[in-house]
């Protein structure tokens, strides 16, 4: 006997399941997300379940469709900036899908009526409430794991623009809860810039002054007002060159925030894997 698949219920239930799986994967992978992105990712998960209704596809096309839909769900649901973050999010999303499937099979161990399989999708004629209860239990188990053992630290980067006396520097800045540097004389807060990453955007006089300091340790301002600020790094506390900036603009959560009276501290090292060129204190954004 052929079963009847209700498209609206199929989409809604899988969207709810996708929403909770994305939330749980975000916790385990340490990826940033938002309510809007989670809803978009959940809608993509709901649409991907409609593969069940397509005519039978060749094996290679089925695997491609499943892989592509999973990548689309993760891409829509998370804010990722590196391939490593993306692959980590994909890993946890897939693993949680497998875990959820195991929970459902355990819940209907006695058997399910009208099971349908097509294009690597399985449809059981069971109560949607049972599926929602299973995904809620899976999500609560992840939260319990997080409560007991903690979760990976979420990395957050925001676009920034630093207006210098001449020219400006643009890029991505890492929001670091452990970064807190101030000018010991004026008390002005500071943020960190990677000199190699922003060199081409700096005025020539400042490039000359910073290059001379980093290569020879000499301080020759050449008309640039520069100071040294003690900064604690992984290599220990060092005196790094710094200049005052006119303003620092951050774009976060759809809003533009402007700060004045700051110092830009320069380091000669690249920051992490190059996905950001600045580090700012967490209290700014």
Closest CA relative to residue 117, chosen from 67, 68, 72, 54: 54
Higher-confidence position of 241 and 64: 241
**Residue 132: in which H helix or E strand, if any?**
helix 128-149
Q: Which two tokens stand for residue 14?
A: 């899988």
State pLDDT tens for residues 7-54: 777 788 788 888 888 888 887 777 767 778 888 888 888 888 777 677
Task: Give the pLDDT confidence of 241-281 residue by residue, as tens digits.
Answer: 888 888 999 887 677 888 888 888 998 888 876 778 898 88
At 216-229, the pLDDT tens digits run 877 765 667 788 88
Res. 55: pLDDT tops 80: no
Residue 63, pLDDT score: 77
Q: What is the mean pLDDT of residues 58-86?
A: 78
Average pLDDT over residues 203-221: 82
Model confidence, pTM = 0.49
Which pLDDT belongs to residue 119? 47
User: Is the predicted pLDDT of residue 68 greater than 60, yes or no?
Assistant: yes
Burial of 21 (0-12, 13-18, 19+ CB in 10 A): buried
| Pairing, β 190-194 against β 278-281 | antiparallel
Across the range 122-130, mean pLDDT stands at 61
Helices (H) and strands (E) in the chain, counts: 7, 11
Percent of the chain with pLDDT over 70: 75
**Residue 94, SS3 per DSSP:** helix
pLDDT cut 90: percent of the chain above it: 3
Tokens matching residue 175: 């929001």
Has residue 201 got a pLDDT over 70?
yes
> What pLDDT is attached to residue 1?
38
Ramachandran region, residue 223 (left: φ > 0; alpha: ψ -120 to 50; beta: rest): left
Q: Which residue has the higher pLDDT, 131 or 173?
A: 173
């Amino acid at each position: 006997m052929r079963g009847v698949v209700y498209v609206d219920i199929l989409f809604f239930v899988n969207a709810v399941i996708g929403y909770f799986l994305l939330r749980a994967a975000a916790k385990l992978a340490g990826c940033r997300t938002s309510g809007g992105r989670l809803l978009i990712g959940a809608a993509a998960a709901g649409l991907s379940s409609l593969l069940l209704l397509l005519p039978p596809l060749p094996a290679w096309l089925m695997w491609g469709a499943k892989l592509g839909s999973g990548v689309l769900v993760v891409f829509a649901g998370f804010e990722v900036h590196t391939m490593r973050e993306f692959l980590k999010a994909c890993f946890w999303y897939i693993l949680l899908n497998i875990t959820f499937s195991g929970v459902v099979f355990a819940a209907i161990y006695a058997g399910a009526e009208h099971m349908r399989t097509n294009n690597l999708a399985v449809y059981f004629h069971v109560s949607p409430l049972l599926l929602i209860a299973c995904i809620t239990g899976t999500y609560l188990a992840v939260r319990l794991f997080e409560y007991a053992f903690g979760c990976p630290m979420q990395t957050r980067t925001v676009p920034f623009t630093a207006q210098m006396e001449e020219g400006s520097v643009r890029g991505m800045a890492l929001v670091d809860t452990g970064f807190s540097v101030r000018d010991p004389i004026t008390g002005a807060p500071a943020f960190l810039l990677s000199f190699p990453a922003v060199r081409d955007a700096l005025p020539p006089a400042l490039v000359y002054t910073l290059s001379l300091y980093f290569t020879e340790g000499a301080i020759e301002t050449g008309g640039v007002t520069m100071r040294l600020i003690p900064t604690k790094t992984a290599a220990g506390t060092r005196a790094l060159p710094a200049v005052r900036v006119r303003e620092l603009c951050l774009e976060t959560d759809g809003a533009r925030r402007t700060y004045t009276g700051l110092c830009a501290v320069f380091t000669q090292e690249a920051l992490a894997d190059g996905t950001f060129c600045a580090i700012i204190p967490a209290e700014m954004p």
